[in-house]
Structure 1
Amino acid sequence: MKDLFFYGTLCHEPLLRLVLGRDDAVTVPARLPDHEALWVRDNAFPMIRHAPGRAAEGLLLRDVTIEDLARLDFYEGGFGYDLRDVMVDGPDGSVPARVYFPQEGLWPPGAPWSLPDWEAKWAGITLHAAEEAMARFGRVPAEAVRPLMPIFRSRGWARQMAANPAPQTLRSGMTGADVQMTSRDDGYDGFFRIRTFDIAHRRFDGCMTDPVPREAFIAFDAALVLPYDPMRDEILLIEQLRYGPIGRGDPAPWVLEPIAGLVDAGEEPADCARREAVEEAKLELGDLRPMVRVYASPGYSSEFFHCFLGLCDLAGRGGELGGLDAENEDIRSHVIGFDRALALIDSGEINAGPLVMMILWLARHRAALRAAA
């Protein structure tokens, strides 16, 4: 079987080992003449194309097995890449090899590719995404994985952001090292994940518990923003249909909420908050103030909220329809006075926990914000 030439992310050997499912792969430096590697525009991976006079640097994988090729085809197929025959310059001269090229017209080219730049920002995220992707090897076709790759990367980004924990001044000093988990294979893997596992942990008396079976809902980090006009003392809320109330049997499943959205891989939560304000309410925010960073429901879910107050001018706003057609969103905005918002909390009409929390945060800071306006 011909050797395989890698020019992009698979030159990062931890990723190559993960995709191959083995640690003993033999690689040597090589280059592909008359080609160049480029970033895929607005993405976290590269592409390659014909470029006379240039050369793409990379690695040559030798002793490729049938299993290797099946696993690589599955992983690269998730990006829309197919193998082509080429001649590669290796340590022993020019040798025949195969390389993964993007399907024609699938990805737009960007700037020249840089493996060190990718490793600095994207390696950890990509390793997590590849772990999720390769867990589906042998279970689903590669085409089924392709639309999920951005979701896998977003979960990887959430794990990176989780590596900076909140203070432990009142809580115990115990850490993840005091937890023992053994995963089981009977969960659910899709846009969301349900992980099933056996878990034991250190007790407050220092002893370890016995293993017990548990489940966890693996979601994403989200950015939430409450637009506030301190001059008018008004806030903007959005209203949309929500599936949680439907599942609970609520006869009125349209919910009042803050503007919110999932944080894309590599995106700062504050940038996500601004992006979502435009998408959901056609609103450009001014100063953005951090509120709180909290787990939505830590007993069973990894979902994590980055909450912001967005200062803005709400004169003449309210009643606009927003949302992205591509995401089948149907959103209406409401602009109300702060006292009305408190009354809606008291009546129960505002029944989304994050919105209640953010309005009560604003109650603590409202006087200072209005005085400074």
Structure 2
Amino acid sequence: MTQTVFLFGPLCDAKLAEVILHKRATGQRALLHDYRLGMVGPSIMPCLVPEPGASVDGMVVAVDAPALARLDIFFGLHSAERFGVVVEGAGTKMAALAYHVGRQPSDPVSTGWTKDQSQIMHLATAEIMGLADRAPIAALHARWPMALAHAASQVRARKGDDPAQLRKDWTRNDVELVHGAMPYAWYFAVAEDDLRFRQFDGAFSAVVKRAGLVMSDAVTVLPYDPVRDIVMVIEQFRFGPWLRGAGNAWLLEPIAGRVDPFESPQDCALREAQEEAQITLRADALMSVGHVYPSPGAITEFLYQFVALCDLPEGSDGVAGLDSEAEDIRSHLVPFDRLMALIASGEVQNGPLLQSAYWLALNRDRLRADAVPQDGG
């Protein structure tokens, strides 16, 4: 027995529908009257919004029970539920099922996704639906935000500049994936690949097994007041040191956070500064320290590191963080010389803070000279 389902907006894309349904999606064009297309942020999920006189262009597909169950899983990620509609196609009206997202659309006039948004949604959906037959629903819901973030990281990586002046100009064609798996998936995930890679003699290696923690791109921000020669660092509990067995698992760090799927690293830096330290930074005051893989042998995380020029008056430190993420973050105003002393003592154990501090040490005189008028200037 099959059911007729109305797909709409960018969900009509044949490749995306095939990923969701796990079979080729063939259907016919149809119109749903008295609705318009909206979009629910921040996941940019298209949704149907009642509006007399409007109409939504889409397609109807006949799906069997397994495909309908997969649609339920996909739409369930967005808290959507089935409801009955009457659509018009090929001059006739027919009953169909559609999915209603209960949340208020953030974009009432959206008609589709940008190229980058489409790539992100395709990649994230492929990851989640690849897990759908074996992972519990709770795991899929927990994984979806990070699947989007990882997909966005993949899109940025594909567009990124990969200079090769000293290293050889390798490409992804120099790696052969024999078998890929994701044996663990929750908020984070573990990928396990059997692969071969090209060696320096030109031959491919034997098949090797590699595993890595699938994360997303992130930013770090070290606020610096060049007039007062003061930085702001934060202190918070970190699970990694705790898991390692450290006696004190609270670290001194720069402001940091994961880049949301549909924001830029620069916008993320500004947002995280507000959330973690309640300070407002300017985009044009962000100076790149470098873009790096902190531990490329084991994790996919890629860091966009910044020093941010700003005013850090007395009293701008304190305790902040998002209650929704159980954050309890204390900020400290630290003179630059004391920061370097903390590094020398071993108290600073956070890699990005060390890198940003050393970058600042190299550029500090110039930044201070630009910030403080010189005699006769």
| TM-score normalised by structure 1 residue count | 0.94
Which residue does 2:49 correspond to in 1? 49
Structure 1 residues 30-89: Cα deviation after superposition (integer angstroms, max 9, x where no partner) = 101112111225441121132221111111113x22221111111111111122222111
**Paired positions, count:** 367
Which residue does 1:111 correspond to in 2? 108
Which residue does 1:262 correspond to in 2? 258
Answer whether contact 1:181 1:198 (CA < 8 A) is retained.
yes
Q: Are 1:272 and 2:272 an aligned pair?
A: no
Which residue does 1:288 correspond to in 2? 286
2:229 is matched with which residue: 233, 236, 239?
233
Which residue does 2:5 correspond to in 1? 4
5+ residue gaps, structure 2: 372-377
Matches within 5 A, 1:313-352: 313-317=311-315, 319-352=317-350
Structure 1 residues 295-343: Cα deviation after superposition (integer angstroms, max 9, x where no partner) = 0111111111001111111120454001111110111111111111111
Which residue does 2:374 correspond to in 1? none
Which residue does 1:122 correspond to in 2? 117
Give distance in 2, aligned partners of 1:278 and 1:109. 22
1:305 is matched with which residue: 303, 306, 323?
303
Return closer, same or farther for 1:336/1:119 CA change in 2, 3 Å cut-off. closer
Structure 1 residues 6-31: Cα deviation after superposition (integer angstroms, max 9, x where no partner) = 113311221101111123x2122110
Return closer, same or farther for 1:119/1:196 CA change in 2, 3 Å cut-off. same
Give distance in 2, aligned partners of 1:114 and 1:83. 21
Which residue does 1:70 correspond to in 2? 69
Return closer, same or farther for 1:233/1:202 CA change in 2, 3 Å cut-off. same
Give distance in 2, aligned partners of 1:189 and 1:308. 31
Give distance in 2, aligned partners of 1:194 and 1:132. 12
TM-fit CA distance, 1:108: 3.9
Moved more, 78-87 or 36-45: 36-45
5+ residue gaps, structure 1: none
Answer whether contact 1:197 1:214 (CA < 8 A) is retained.
yes
Output the amino acid matched with 1:21: H
TM-fit CA distance, 1:91: 1.4
Structure 1 residues 277-302: Cα deviation after superposition (integer angstroms, max 9, x where no partner) = 11111111241112210001111111
Matches within 5 A, 1:73-92: 73-92=72-91
2:240 is matched with which residue: 235, 238, 244?
244
Output the amino acid matched with 1:251: G
Give distance in 1, aligned partners of 2:251 and 2:97. 53
Answer whether contact 2:37 2:47 (CA < 8 A) is retained.
yes
Give distance in 2, aligned partners of 1:303 and 1:312. 27
| TM-score normalised by structure 2 residue count | 0.93
Structure 1 residues 207-251: Cα deviation after superposition (integer angstroms, max 9, x where no partner) = 111001111111110011000011111111000111111111111
Give distance in 1, aligned partners of 2:333 and 2:200. 48
Answer whether contact 2:132 2:140 (CA < 8 A) is retained.
no
Which residue does 1:14 correspond to in 2? 15
Return closer, same or farther for 1:186/1:289 CA change in 2, 3 Å cut-off. closer
Which residue does 1:171 correspond to in 2? 167
Give distance in 1, aligned partners of 2:91 and 2:252. 67
Which residue does 1:159 correspond to in 2? 154
Q: SS where residue 275 of structure 2 aligns? A: helix
TM-fit CA distance, 1:261: 0.4
Output the amino acid matched with 2:202: G
